[in-house]
Structure 1
Amino acid sequence: MVRHTAPGAVEWIESGGGPLIVVPEAALSAWRGADGDDWEDYDRACEVDGRQGLVAVGPSSALVLGSEPASTTFLPDRDTFVRWIAADSEGRLLDSVDAALASAVWEETTVWDVPGPVVLFDAACPGSALDEADVLRITLPPGRYTVRAAQVTPIPRTTLCLVQLIACGSSHTHA
């Protein structure tokens, strides 16, 4: 896993080759990932079909961000995970997010109950053994969220996957 950081840049999380997962902080210790001979949790994450889906973890559900190991960040001002599929630079990718949101054709929708803050990391890692450099902590108010996903090419040579969270009952969307 790599966390790309530069002055003023967002933080990106990468995987070793499988999906990334967003686990409620309260359920982290229940996520076993691919720990030794026990790969059950990781295998369940790998079975998620599409750009996003849910798997059980402890008393909660975790959000799996597709099977593609794309570098991923979270933009809290847009309530959106941005997955870097193709772009010449981070700046070009991030500059295209608003156009991508405006042109997105949302393909998949899931409803996710979130008990509070969540953590983004490589699904292969056990939740109890995470290093701060390997995770991105995201503050989410407890509640029910509609999760929608789309892959967009808003400008030439720039493709990203968007996974957006919309608080149920909220009329606010970044479209």
Structure 2
Amino acid sequence: MDGLAGVIPIDENGAQALVLADEPATSCYLPEHRAFLRWLAAGTEAGLKAAADAVLADPATAWEECGTWVSDGPAVLMDSTEAGSDLGIEYPDGGMPAEASVPLPAGRWRVRATHTKVGEENRVGLVQLLPAEF
């Protein structure tokens, strides 16, 4: 995947997946901002979240446009090395694939992303979903 995020087809019926690209990073979804937060560098979770809030509030933030994602509703944040069909199924050696629910309404979303350094310690990755015009 070129860029910080992108949309790929996942079946012949037109279903799509949003891919958070570039580098492996612990990620979570911030529903109040409709954004995925990627932990690139930070001393603490609180510092990372504060840096993300600052980036999202700054109108001068440089965003990369990453396409349009059509979603039929709630999604799942998962590691791209897992097969979606394996979610919720225990591994033979024990344990479960990591996944997190993303409470997203059905819609057409403009995807934008940034990797931004905030202060000396924090580097945040954000992939934000904005309602797309038809």
**Are the equivalent residues in 2 in contact too, given 1:104–1:151 (CA < 8 A)?**
no
CA distance in 2, matches of 1:104, 1:162: 11
Superposition CA RMSD, Å: 1.4
Give the Å deviation of 1:61: 0.8
Give the Å deviation of 1:128: 1.4
Q: TM-score, normalised by structure 2?
A: 0.84
**1:53 counterpart letter in structure 2:** G
For structure 1, list consecutive stretches of 5 or more residues without a partner in the other structure: 1-47, 170-175
1:20-99 to 2 correspondences below 5 Å? 48-58=1-11, 59=13, 60-99=15-54
Deviations 1:40-61 (A, max 9, x none): xxxxxxxx11100111112311
1:156-171 to 2 correspondences below 5 Å? 156-169=120-133
1:114 corresponds to which residue? Answer: 71
Give the Å deviation of 1:108: 2.5
CA distance in 2, matches of 1:88, 1:167: 33
Q: Pick the structure with more helix per residue.
A: 1
Give the Å deviation of 1:66: 0.6
Count of aligned pairs? 122
**1:120 counterpart letter in structure 2:** L
User: Which stretch shifts more, 139-148 or 103-112?
Assistant: 103-112
The yes-or-no answer on 1:146 pairing with 2:127 is: no
2:85 corresponds to which residue? Answer: 128
Give the Å deviation of 1:161: 0.8
SS state at 1:92 partner: helix
Q: TM-score, normalised by structure 1?
A: 0.66
CA distance in 2, matches of 1:84, 1:163: 12
Deviations 1:76-104 (A, max 9, x none): 00111000100111111111112111142
**Are the equivalent residues in 2 in contact too, given 1:71–1:84 (CA < 8 A)?**
yes
Give the Å deviation of 1:134: 0.9
CA distance in 2, matches of 1:108, 1:155: 24
For structure 2, list consecutive stretches of 5 or more residues without a partner in the other structure: 89-95
Give the Å deviation of 1:109: 3.0
Q: Pick the structure with more strand per residue.
A: 2
